[in-house]
């Protein structure tokens, strides 16, 4: 038996191809949306991977440092080094900031890391150019997606920094490039006030009788000094000794140091289930809407194509064509349209993904799932046209 659907497609291939291209662009958008979600998850995982930490030690009763703010004293890491199973502990700060680059600002996650300790948790693990931070001040290692060049001077708050190294795929969970600076600079940048604010703060301190006591003239100077220094970090990243189970090391820290400790799995859960959850659901809803729109478009196209063949269908039925042959023809055409659309969509998505400002990850398995989803949608969408075709009265082919 010849393929009636195939012959019809070959006969009016232009109509099918152009319709398929239109549908394909829609499928391309749908695949890209799925890719954006995957990219967000991958960004979060890459951020965690890049820390090479086994444990995240944060302020008690917080879900820091990514989902909530967290403050720890910067000398706590020394105590952690003495806890069982801990091989290394490193202070880290995370600041979402606008980094000045020439006349432009670049949205970045500024990470404060201990200078001169490459390879430890929190540091960029691999550089694509330059060197790691060796000085305690005014050096930067930046992700290549920031657009910074080696040797360039960038501005963070009031201070200028020199780019000494470039890393790759070191991004925050929302895709911003990471900019690594010395920890001391990061601590300072976190609460750095402008001169006017400092003057105001000192005036207020001087007017406060608790700070400016006549009998203790040095107290005001101490208070002023304490308010202009920052001894806090957001988290301490812990690397465990080989063979140590994360939970075994985390439990004594929770119990004895009264700190919140998260393992890699828990931190990933916080990021994906809480931090990017709303964005993910937004994208999921958008995917559902796009799928419905695609289904409606395919249904409309197939319905219209079938409507144009009512007389032929009546003739086919009159001369004894089985209903399932006619239904098969319509469904095959719908599926063919889906296949053309998917191929076009996949190709266009592959081409336009690199120009997206955020990382878009097109997973092969998502494409496979997408392909079957497209086929299912097309099969479903053809039901309306099939129903109409099966209702066609063969008597319509006979006059009168």
Partner 1 sequence: MSGKGIHIEGLKKRYGEGDTAVHALKGVDMQVAPGEVVGLIGPSGSGKSTLLKCLGAVIDPTAGRMVLGDEVIFDNDWKVHDLQALRRDKIGFVFQAPYLIPFLDVTDNVALLPMLAGIPNSKARAKALELLTALDIQHRARAMPSQLSGGEQQRVAIARGLVNRPPVILADEPTAPLDSERAMAVIRILNDMARQFETAIIVVTHDEKIIPTFKRIYHIRDGVAHEETGEGRGFE
Catalog residues that contact partner 1 under the rule CB under 8 A: 1-2, 4, 7-8, 10-12, 311-312, 315-323, 325, 393-395, 397-400
- Asked whether 99 and 105 are in contact (CB, 8 A), the reply is yes
Helix (H, G, I), strand (E, B) or coil at 289: helix
Per-residue CA distances from 149 to 142, 373, 386 (Å) = 9, 44, 60
Classify the phi-psi angles of 249: left when phi > 0, otherwise alpha if psi is within -120 to 50, otherwise beta: alpha
Beta strands at 104-113 and 178-182: parallel, antiparallel or unpaired: parallel
CB of residue 385 to partner 1, shortest distance in Å: 16
CB of residue 392 to partner 1, shortest distance in Å: 12
Q: Which positions ≥6 away from 51 have C-beta within 8 Å?
A: 92, 121, 122, 237
Instruction: Please identify, using beta-carbon distances, which residue of 283 and 326 lies nearer to partner 1.
Output: 326
CB of residue 26 to partner 1, shortest distance in Å: 26
Instruction: Please identify, using beta-carbon distances, which residue of 9 and 106 lies nearer to partner 1.
Output: 9
Instruction: Please identify, using beta-carbon distances, which residue of 10 and 369 lies nearer to partner 1.
Output: 10
CB of residue 391 to partner 1, shortest distance in Å: 14
CB of residue 310 to partner 1, shortest distance in Å: 11
Instruction: Please identify, using beta-carbon distances, which residue of 100 and 394 lies nearer to partner 1.
Output: 394
Instruction: Please identify, using beta-carbon distances, which residue of 252 and 394 lies nearer to partner 1.
Output: 394
Instruction: Please identify, using beta-carbon distances, which residue of 315 and 343 lies nearer to partner 1.
Output: 315
User: Which letter does DSSP use for residue 271 in this model?
Assistant: I
CB of residue 1 to partner 1, shortest distance in Å: 5
**Residue 230, exposed/middle/buried by CB under 10 A (0-12, 13-18, 19+)?**
middle
User: Which letter does DSSP use for residue 263 in this model?
Assistant: E
């Amino acid at each position: 038996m010849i393929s009636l659907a195939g012959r019809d497609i070959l006969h009016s291939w232009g109509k099918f191809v152009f319709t398929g291209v239109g549908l394909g662009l829609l499928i391309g958008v749908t695949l890209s949306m799925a890719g954006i979600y995957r990219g967000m998850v991958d960004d979060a995982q890459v951020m965690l991977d890049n820390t090479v930490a086994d444990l995240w030690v944060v302020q008690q009763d917080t879900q820091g440092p990514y989902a909530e703010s967290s403050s720890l004293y910067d000398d706590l890491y020394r105590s952690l080094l003495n806890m069982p199973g801990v091989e290394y502990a490193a202070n880290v700060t995370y600041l979402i900031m606008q980094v000045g680059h020439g006349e432009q600002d670049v949205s970045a996650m500024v990470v404060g890391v201990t200078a001169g300790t490459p390879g430890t948790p929190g540091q960029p693990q691999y550089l694509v150019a330059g060197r790691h931070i060796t000085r305690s001040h005014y050096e930067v290692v930046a992700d290549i997606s920031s657009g910074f060049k080696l040797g360039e001077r960038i501005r963070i708050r009031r201070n200028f920094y020199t780019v000494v190294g470039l890393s790759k795929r070191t991004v925050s969970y929302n895709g911003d490039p990471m900019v690594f600076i010395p920890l001391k600079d990061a601590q300072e940048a976190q609460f750095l006030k402008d001169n006017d604010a400092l003057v105001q703060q000192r005036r207020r301190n001087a007017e406060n009788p608790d700070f400016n006591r006549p009998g203790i003239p040095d107290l005001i100077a101490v208070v002023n000094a304490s308010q202009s220094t920052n001894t806090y970090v957001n988290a301490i990243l812990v690397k465990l000794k080989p063979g140590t189970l994360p939970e075994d090391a985390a439990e004594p820290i929770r119990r004895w140091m009264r700190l919140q400790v998260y393992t890699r799995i828990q931190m990933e859960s916080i990021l994906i289930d809480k931090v990017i959850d709303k964005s993910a659901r937004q994208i999921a809803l958008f995917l559902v809407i796009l799928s419905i729109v695609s289904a409606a478009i395919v249904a409309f196209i197939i319905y219209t194509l079938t409507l144009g063949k009512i007389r032929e269908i009546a003739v086919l039925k009159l001369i004894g064509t089985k209903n399932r042959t006619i239904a098969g023809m319509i469904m095959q055409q719908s599926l063919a349209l889906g296949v053309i659309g998917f191929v076009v969509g996949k190709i266009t998505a592959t081409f336009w993904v690199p120009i997206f400002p955020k990382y878009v990850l097109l997973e092969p398995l998502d494409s496979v799932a997408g392909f079957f989803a497209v086929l299912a949608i097309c099969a479903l969408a053809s039901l309306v046209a099939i129903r109409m075709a099966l209702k066609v009265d063969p008597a319509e082919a006979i006059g009168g």
